[in-house]
Amino acid sequence: MDKLLIRGGAPLNGEIYASGAKNSALPILAASLLADSPLKVGNLPHLNDVTTMLELLGSMGVEVMLSDEMEVQVDTSNIQNLNARYELVKTMRASILVLGPLLARFQQASVALPGGCAIGSRPVNLHIEAMQAMGAEVSIVEGNIKAKVDGRLKGAKIIFEPVSVTGTENVIMAASLAEGVTTIENAAREPEVIDLANCLIQMGANIKGAGTDIITIEGVDRLEGATFSVMPDRVEVGTYLTAVAMTGGLVKIKSAKPKYLSSVILKLEDCGAIINQGEDWVEIKMDASRPQAISLTTGPYPSFPTDMQAQFVSLNSIAKGNSTVTETVFENRFMHVQEIARMGGNIALKGNTAVIEGINKLKGAPVMATDLRASASLVLAGLVAEGDTTIDRIYHIDRGYERIEEKLKILGADIERIS
């Protein structure tokens, strides 16, 4: 099993390009099930989760082809079965996103209860209740969500409590081919939801309000293929910016959309970083030997993203001063704390809050990744630690970061993948 070996202490300098957003790519690939002609998707990140989604579509009989322009063309005209099997969905919670499209276009679906990172309760009941509100019969049989509808799904008023990103995306896709108008209240406002809506609109959908907490979808009779490019990964960009705030240096990230990172950028500036940005690039300069401690609370977009919480716990562990990091989205997303503590971090958990006393230097140690963003926080800790850090179970990081060790090497980090 692969590991990452990091020899800490080197500042980061140079330029890299942002990859496409996994959290945008996965629902857009699922949306291909709605189209009666091929959908071409560009800027897909080369990640295990994306590969798994393509394998899942392929297992249904969907034709997947890679074009000369490195676009993936997805053709669902010869789909053969409507089952998302457990062996393909067990590692990826986003597999639930095929439920709505299958129901809307084919009037039935069987989706194994999904897996993914063990970071707390992410219930599928929101998806099930939404499909039932739109007229589907849904049951759970032997670990599979079985759903069917007599005729087309019907437009409905859906109120999410709590707000759900994948729930919002599933309903947007299902409603695009439903009969009548669907309104989603307390909808997720994440940029990835906007990206999915923009792709569906290019396919012929009638969607208004994406990016606000009320989204209205008027169903159409059919959707056709289109050509669409996935947005940059804001969490990847935020992770590299945080790395520079910890190590020092000067880094420019191209093909980025910093307007979607405002909450993270404000916190980094509070830490002492100097940030310049344009429409599609962002640059960070950090001269201070250590960042200033910064407290934060996670929340749905546009609040501070839960997917950046672990990275800021890592930053605060070597910052000047004390801080608190409060997690409000997932109740079990502090598994990285005990690993950072192995490197000398002084962190105490009190309920859903990490209380952090910044120290001057972390010490390299063997650590283990427990989920995707936790693994990123350990990479960041290793970059500033004294000595060698070995990170085990990095298959987690390969689910969400494209060639992380190659990009960090370009910036001057001493990092390598070992067996």
User: Which residues, at least 6 apart from 163, have a Cβ–Cβ distance to it below 8 Å?
Assistant: 186, 187, 188, 213, 300
How far is CA 87 from its chain centroid? 21
H or E element, residue 103: helix 99-106
Do the Cβ atoms of 233 and 19 come closer than 8 Å? yes
Task: Centre a 10 Å sphere on the Cβ of residue 360 and count the other Cβ atoms it contains.
Answer: 10
Task: Kindly give the residue spans of alpha helices, DSSP state H, lying in 272-401.
Answer: 309-317, 336-342, 372-384
Cα–Cα dist 204/182, whole Å: 16
199 classed as catalytic? no
User: Which residues, at least 6 apart from 236, have a Cβ–Cβ distance to it below 8 Å?
Assistant: 18, 19, 21, 400, 401, 402
Q: Which of 309, 329, 303 is nearest to 376 (CA)?
A: 309
β-strand 39-42 against 72-75: which pairing, if any? antiparallel
In 77-219, at which residue ranges do the beta strands (DSSP E only) sit? 83-84, 108-112, 137-141, 144-148, 157-159, 181-185, 206-208, 214-218
Full 3-state SS string of 112-137:
ECCCCCCCCCCCCHHHHHHHHHCCCE
Q: Of the residues 10, 31, 92, 117, which is catalytic?
A: 117
Do the Cβ atoms of 22 and 45 come closer than 8 Å? yes
User: Which residues, at least 6 apart from 154, have a Cβ–Cβ distance to it below 8 Å?
Assistant: 134, 135, 178, 179, 180
Q: Which residues are catalytic?
A: 117
